[in-house]
Chains A and B, each alone.
Chain A
Amino acid sequence: MLYTCPNRPKCHVSRPLNAMPISISDPATLVFQLNGEAVSIPASCSPQTTLLDFLRARGLTGAKEGCAEGECGACTVVMVRDLDGRTVYRPVNSCLMFLPMAAGQEVYTVEALAASGSLHPVQQSMVDHGGSQCGYCTPGFVMSLFAEHYRPGRGDGACDPHSMGGNLCRCTGYRPIRDAALALTAAPPDAFSRRLDAPAPPITAIASAHFSRPATLDDCLAILARDPDARIVSGGTDLGVESNLLGRAFPHLVSVEAIPDLRIFHETAREIEIGAALTLSEIEAAWKTAPAAFTEWLDLFASPLIRNRATLGGNLATASPIGDGAPFLLALDAAVRIAGASGTRTVPLHEFFLDYRKTALARAEILVSIVIPKPVPPIVFYKVAKRRLDDISTIAAAFSITLGAASRVTAARLAYGGVAPVPLRCIQAEDILTGSTWNRRAVQQACAAIAATLRPISDHRGSAEYRLALAQSLLEKFFYECSEAAE
């Protein structure tokens, strides 16, 4: 069938889109692999130029801006990364990646998929199932699905539609896109498959005026001590939003992505230590003994695209009262290890949050790791939000109750987000429960203490009364779920 792409107007389109909005003053250049070719970026570029803007300026307009804050996924590209020892494609929001973060890395955009002339199976499946409508979100869905298609260990069955949880579509009603994912089978043994047989590029050190990526903790601490304007960044899923939407300027960004101390995952008989700069996806891959609630919590925490860049350290250091990381870790009695010029100290997480967006981190200190004591107690996590995924909690709660003989509570942890200026534990209620018999009366008494402790506010996500009522009824819900499970 003939089809006229209506590029009819005779306007003088003679060069790619706008010239790079970067001034080249530093002769040293950074390089990354883009669709199989080495691409240079000036080391002195504004550290806040996004990968998305860079790509589009080069005429690679398949990735698009829909929101500039990692909500819609129209800007999705894939990176080649190491995940627990295996090379994988990781889809990410290019609108939240500051360009220097790509240095030394390997990036593919939708334009690479059908470079040979014939559609990639993922694209073909989208065409066959009517997965595009207006087409604006389509390249983003294609790239998320592409990464899923080549996921090691996926087998040769259908692709998981949840892999596209970070992509919004306003036209199709999602069903044709789901069908496109479900119809896919094994990834072809093509160049994209073969690429995964070789190691992913390492994360290298960078030192420039506006963007540093030190390779050691000592180097990092030295930079922080030297430059009071330095701002720590890891995945950039929070700072990227501040940059794009609020116009915040960061004179010197210090990426912690290359510091080995912040990228550890150690499990011993006594504790689990999680590096602050591990992405949520990396933690998921590394923590093989994680409780079931952890996986549920991850799904609720953020979309796959965000999880591929966001770190647990960043989530805690940002100290948002509605962040989902803190309640979960509070209920596990976690602590944080903090490094500074004078050495390392460990702070229990419930003492880490001082006030609204204020933490125990002093200037030039850095969050190194999160420590969870073992044995990991049973835990449940609840997030109440309007939308099932990709939403900020109205309230989040994590509960851990350990029972001894005769249903006596030996340890209780009740942690909440969204009910006070900081994420917190309801220690008064915990004390009431500890030592009591785990029954309805004890729960009711604890609920009364919860009402006395929490200070929720009213906003568009819910009224103070609603939040307080929820905080209590979630504990009741937990109690009934325990009772049902016991029966």
Chain B
Amino acid sequence: MSIMQTLVQTAARFKPDADPDPLIASKKYVGRALDRVDGRLKVTGGARFTAEYAPDDMVYAAPVFSTIAKGKVRRLDTAAAESSPGVIAVITPKNMPRLVTPSLTDFAKLDKIAASNLPVLQDDSVHWNGQVIAVVIAETHEQAQEAAARVRADYDADEGMVSFERNKDKAIMPKDVLGEPPEIKIGDAEKNLKSAPVQVDATYRSPYYNHSAIEPHATIAYWEGDDRLYVFDSTQWVEGYRNSLAHVFALNRENIRVMAPFVGGGFGGKAGFWWNTILCAAAAKMVGRPVKLALSREGVFRIVGGRTVAEQRVALGATREGKLTALIHTGLTVTPDHARYAEQCTFPTRHLYATEALHVAQYVVNLDMVANTWMRAPGESIGTFAVESALDELAVELRMDPIELRRKVEPARDPTKDTEFSSRNLIEAYERGAAEFNWSSRNLQPRSRRDGAWLVGHGVATAYYPALRFPGGARVRLEADGTAIVQAAANEMGMGVATGQLQHAADRLGLPLHCVEFDYGDSHLPTSPMAGGSCQTLSILAATRATVEKLHRELLKLEQKDSASPLKGAKYEDLVARDNGLFLASEPSRGVSYVEILRKAGKPYLEVEGVSSAPMEMMKYSMASYGAQFCEVRVNETTGEVRVARWLGSFDCGTVLNPKTAMSQLRGGIVMGIGMALTEEMLVDGRSGRIMNRSLAGYHVPVNLDVPRIDVLFNDIPDPQTALGAHGIGEIGITGVAAAIANAVYNATGKRVRDLPITLDKLL
């Protein structure tokens, strides 16, 4: 940690708390299960996704992928492609515009966001199997595809490092993990482990995973002159893409506009800045026409990385009463040197449980692979699989109910950060969940319940994801007719951002819902953080809160120019916004409507821009969402097939803005966790580094029938440190799921599977 960071953190601890958001008590629309605002557009096919825009004269780009993992393209034969019908150009390193090399995400600044820092098609080198080595531009999509298939490449192949198994011995400790130290030691955990009366020491493995959003990545780019670039992109972060494009094309940020009206799912796969966007913009520059580059499903698998393979050791030392004396969690993941992203698998262990001694450490092995990246709850998803499986193993050793064990290890303070928790009600989530799930009827003894050929088991695990907020901006414009527009660059991938923010804005402004608009998905709007890390909702709430405060202060100033104003002499702190205007909190009948204020001031509208403060609360407190995942699985004794029969997720994630959209987010996360546990796995050829199952027929996301009834409970306890007391909820649903299933499979069969996915053959 830098001296500066240390100083800021120390200062943050002494900063007095702000008062909890008063709107927590007086919310009207927030907390209601309203329909999502874009539902109608989506069911009619009227929602326009990136690939569905059609600027005049648009042409189509199709990439050519390398078939080796490492080496050089010795010869690229593009003659057949160039003479193919409709072809306008074939882009190779020879004629590719010279570009600045993209910069990897810097977590101190978090403005540029490239997933890989390789030069983009600037030379003949190949760094992963599937890298783009040429791009064909043609009049139609089919012509581009057909010509791309005619490009022939000869390679000078080097022996790449592609096998995880064979290169584990070359692991190194990264300099940092998302800006946090790669290793933390408290006491001597190994020593404590050796002397502990009860010990668990196991290795947990998980494969490569792919986001598999149903919309494949797409970009449309066009230029105005040499220095103005417009881009539609299926991105999770319009502003990060704009900044990255400005960097790569050496343009002013103001000259670039990135727009993402609707995004067909992202899950982290559309957050990093990938080659397709850069190549599309470069192609548009080259041919002087708008270009569309819509990746095929295979294209997504080839050039957009997913979640790393991981091998994690968790060792627990405990007293017979279930107190932890040692907690060791080390993780080995893959990242190529050009991505340098060590997936933060040990992060949950840093904040979850009380232990006398702790050791967490992360290692990476640099392979010649497509850049790995964030995928839903990066770190926490696979990290909770390891640590929550290990806790279950400890509960088995102790012959203790696993929920009882969670009670024994519940900490009073954050174990590594050494701060208080802003709001932590994990045990309450367990207890509410246990009652609803009828956990008490579970049998501690494995293999003790069956239904015909099916062995039945029950499992639990903790869900965990930090509550992150980034500073951001918003613009609020109040019209003379008393309606308002809230604007933020934000992205909506279906999470419910637009709906939730409208509910918030209406309450914050004291307006009926139909009088408020929310405008987003455009880098020209006030700055927002990425739709990732479950941070966007919380960040925009804080920015809107700050901006509406600014608006109200300005309105008060305007109003008080009128000497007969009912708000004469009032201070901002005395006011509440309700019933389309501002009123005195102490005297509810005294107030004035927005329409009246603007009318008297002779203003057609009032527009203010505001920004939220630096997230000092995140330094002062340990802030996170928690949950308890309960499940029932059935394992067929003959075939080893695993069916998830019942699910309950009980979550502690602050104030819930909209239970309808929130439940959908959490269920979706749980289903992705079921896929992670049972069916999903990216298979990499250990010789060539080629991803073998590059399609939805080969990469198995769960289908409707794989999914049981999923119930979701909320504690709905506000976090006093956040706007509305809310937390982001996009990631937490997937955390703990794989462990809950593995734990239930153990309970059903007596067999502990530590190697995901839990496929049939591992159970026979």
The stretch that binds A, out of B31-39, B336-344, B464-472, B620-628, is B31-39
- Interface size in chain B (residues, C-beta < 8 A): 110
Q: Which chain A residues border B296 with CB–CB below 8 Å?
A: 68, 245
Interface: B513 (CB within 8 A): yes
Which partner residue on chain B sits nearest A134 by CB separation? Answer: B494
- In the complex, the chain B residue whose C-beta lies closest to that of A176 is B664
- The reply to whether B214 and A136 form a contact with Cβ atoms under 8 Å apart is yes
- A67 in the interface, Cβ–Cβ < 8 Å? yes
Q: A9-B259, A15-B56, A135-B494 are in contact. Are A119 and B704 (CB under 8 A)?
A: no
Q: Do A134 and B213 touch (CB < 8 A)?
A: yes
B43 within 8 A of A: yes
Contact: A384 with B259, CB < 8 Å? no
Q: B696 at interface (Cβ–Cβ under 8 A)?
A: yes
Q: Within the complex, which residue of B145, B267, B520, B665 is in contact with A170, where a contact is CB–CB below 8 Å? A: B267
Answer whether A72 and B683 are a contact pair too, CB < 8 Å, given A61-B52, A130-B39, A135-B264: no
Q: Are A247 and B696 in contact (CB under 8 A)?
A: no
When chains A and B are docked, how far (Å) is the Cα of A173 from the Cα of B483?
36
Interface SS of chain A: helix, strand, loop or mixed? loop
Chain A 1-42 interface residues, beta-carbon cutoff 8 Å to B:
1-9, 11-19, 21
Whether a CB of chain A sits under 8 angstroms from the CB of B761 is yes
Taking the closest CB of chain B, its distance from the CB of A60, in whole angstroms, is 8
Q: Indicate if the CB atoms of A134 and B39 lie closer than 8 Å.
A: no
Most chain B Cβ neighbours within 10 Å, of A4, A60, A72, A382:
A4
Residues of A within 8 A of B676 (CB): none
B512-537 vs A, Cβ < 8 Å mask (1 yes, 0 no)? 01111111111000000000000000
B697 and A67 contact, CB distance less than 8 A: yes
Please judge, given known A-B contacts A123-B44, A389-B705, whether A14 and B142 are in contact too, CB under 8 Å: no
Whole-angstrom distance from the CB of B637 to the nearest CB of chain A?
Answer: 9
Q: How far is the CA of A133 from the CA of B670 in the complex (A)?
A: 15
Q: Is B60 interfacial (CB 8 A cutoff)?
A: yes
The residues of A that contact B517 with a CB separation of less than 8 Å are 2-4
Interface hits, A292-334 → B, CB 8 Å: none
Write out, one digit per residue, whether chain A residues 155-168 have a CB within 8 A of any chain B CB (1) or not (0).
00000011011011
Indicate if the CB atoms of B215 and A66 lie closer than 8 Å: yes
CA distance A68 to B214 in the complex (A): 11
Could you tell me the distance in whole angstroms from the C-beta of B563 to the nearest C-beta in chain A? 35
Check if A130 sits within 8 Å of B701, measured CB to CB: no
- Give 1 or 0 for each of B52-94: 1 = CB within 8 Å of chain A CB: 1111101010000000000000000000000000000000000
Closest to A135 in B: B42
Q: Is there contact, CB below 8 Å, between A13 and B259? A: no
Partner of B670, one of A2, A16, A173, A469: A173
Among candidates B39, B639, B678, B702, residue contacting A384 with C-beta atoms closer than 8 Å = B639
Q: What residues on A are CB-neighbors of B49 within 8 Å?
A: 61, 64, 136
Expressed in whole angstroms, the minimum distance between the Cβ of A115 and any Cβ of chain B is: 9
Binds B, one of A106-114, A253-261, A398-406, A432-440: A106-114
Within the complex, which residue of B58, B678, B707 is in contact with A386, where a contact is CB–CB below 8 Å? B678
Given A5-B41, A130-B661 in contact, is the A170-B259 Cβ separation under 8 Å? Answer: no
Give the contacts of A368-401 with B (CB-CB under 8 A): 382, 384, 386-392, 394
- B262 neighbours in A (Cβ, 8 Å): 134-136
Shortest Cβ distance from A98 into chain B, in angstroms? Answer: 13
Known contacts A110-B44, A387-B702, A460-B693: A53-B141 contact under CB 8 Å? yes
In the complex, chain B residues whose CB is within 8 Å of the CB of A2: 483, 514-517
Residue of chain A at shortest CB distance from B54: A17
Q: Does A242 contact B (CB under 8 A)?
A: no
Q: How far is the CA of A330 from the CA of B438 in the complex (A)?
A: 47
Q: Are B35 and A128 in contact (CB under 8 A)?
A: yes
A477 to B453, Cβ gap below 8 A? yes
Question: Residue A430 at the B interface, CB < 8 A?
Answer: no
Known contacts A9-B259, A15-B56, A169 near B214 by CB under 8 Å: yes
Q: From B218, which residue of chain A is reached at the shortest CB distance?
A: A65
Please report the C-alpha to C-alpha distance between residue A135 and residue B215 in the assembled complex, in whole angstroms: 9
Q: Does B261 contact A (CB under 8 A)?
A: yes
In contact, B37 and A119 (Cβ under 8 angstroms): no
Shortest Cβ distance from residue B57 to the other chain A in the assembled complex, whole angstroms: 9
Q: Is B216 an interface residue (CB 8 A)?
A: yes
Q: Residue of B at shortest CB range from A12?
A: B56
The answer, yes or no, to whether B688 is at the interface (CB within 8 Å) is no
Q: Assess whether B704 is in contact with A171, with CB atoms less than 8 Å apart.
A: no
Question: Known contacts being A1-B513, A21-B143, A66-B214, is A384 close to B52, with CB within 8 Å?
Answer: no
Q: Which residues of B contact A392 (CB under 8 A)?
A: 697
Q: Given the complex of chains A and B, what is the CA–CA distance between A389 and B643 in angstroms?
A: 12
- A387-B700 in contact (CB<8A): yes
Chain A residues with Cβ below 8 Å from B502 are: 1, 3
Most buried by B among A3, A62, A65, A109: A3
Contacts between the two chains (Cβ within 8 Å), count: 297
A473's nearest neighbour on chain B, judged by CB, is B638
The distance in angstroms between the C-alpha atoms of A110 and B42, with both chains bound, is 10
Contact of B696 among A5, A63, A67 (CB under 8 A): A67
C-alpha gap A66/B701 in the complex (Å): 13
A241 to chain B, nearest CB (A): 8
Smallest distance from the beta carbon of B142 to chain A beta carbons, Å? 5
B502, closest chain A residue (CB):
A1
Instruction: Give the nearest-CB partner of A460 in chain B.
Output: B683
A105 at the interface (CB under 8 A from B): no
Which residues in window 692-746 of B have CB below 8 A to A? 692-693, 695-698, 700-707, 709-710
Enumerate A139-178 residues with CB–CB distance to B below 8 Å. Answer: 139, 142, 161-162, 164-165, 167-178
Q: Is the CB of B264 within 8 A of A127?
A: no
Expressed in whole angstroms, the Cα–Cα distance for A172 and B703 within the complex equals: 12
Is B45 in contact with A21, judged by CB distance below 8 angstroms?
Answer: no
Give the distance in Å from the alpha carbon of A164 to the alpha carbon of B494 in the complex: 20
Nearest B residue (CB) for A463: B761
Instruction: Answer yes or no: B400 CB below 8 A from chain A CBs.
Output: no
Residue B302 is within 8 A (CB to CB) of chain A in the complex: no
**B668: CB under 8 A from chain A?**
yes
**In the complex, residue of chain B having the shortest beta-carbon distance to the beta carbon of A169:** B214
Q: Are A3 and B37 in contact (CB under 8 A)?
A: yes
The reply to whether B704 and A11 contact each other, CB–CB distance below 8 Å, is: no
Q: Is B230 an interface residue (CB 8 A)?
A: yes
Q: Are A384 and B660 in contact (CB under 8 A)?
A: no
Give per-residue flags for B218-231: 1 if the beta carbon is below 8 A from chain A beta carbons, else 0: 00001000000010
Point out the residues of chain B lying under 8 angstroms from A130, CB to CB.
35-36, 39, 660-661, 663-664
CB distance B709 to A175 under 8 Å?
A: yes
For B265, the chain A residues whose CB sits under 8 A away are: 133-134, 136, 170-171
Give every chain A residue within 8 A of B361 (Cβ-Cβ).
none
By beta carbon, the residue of chain B nearest A73 is B214
Q: How far is the CA of A137 from the CA of B496 in the complex (A)?
A: 16
In chain A, residues 164-204, which have Cβ atoms closer than 8 Å to a Cβ of chain B? 164-165, 167-178
Contact B40 A127 (CB under 8 A): yes
Q: A366 within 8 Å of B by Cβ?
A: no
| B641 contacts A by Cβ under 8 Å | yes
Give the nearest-CB partner of B44 in chain A. A114
Closest to B263 in A: A134
Q: Given A111-B44, A164-B704, A247-B149, answer yes or no on A386-B759 (Cβ-Cβ < 8 Å).
A: yes
Distance to closest chain B CB from A471 (angstroms): 11
State in angstroms the CA–CA spacing of A384 and B494 once bound together: 34
Complex Cα spacing A175 to B669, Å: 12
Q: Say yes or no: B704 contacts A21, CB within 8 Å.
A: no
Q: Which of B228-287 contact A (CB under 8 A)?
A: 230, 232, 257, 259, 261-265, 267
17 A–B pairs (Cβ distance < 8 Å), ordered by A:
A1-B502, A9-B259, A12-B56, A21-B140, A64-B214, A65-B294, A71-B696, A110-B45, A127-B35, A130-B39, A130-B660, A132-B42, A164-B704, A170-B213, A172-B664, A173-B671, A175-B667
Q: Told that A123-B43, A132-B38, A170-B214 touch, could you supply 18 new A-B pairs with CB distance under 8 A?
A: A6-B259, A6-B519, A6-B522, A12-B56, A21-B143, A66-B216, A67-B697, A119-B43, A126-B43, A130-B35, A133-B495, A134-B214, A135-B42, A161-B704, A386-B678, A386-B700, A387-B679, A460-B692
Closest A-B pairs by Cβ, 7 of them: A62-B45, A173-B667, A136-B264, A134-B494, A135-B42, A133-B494, A123-B43
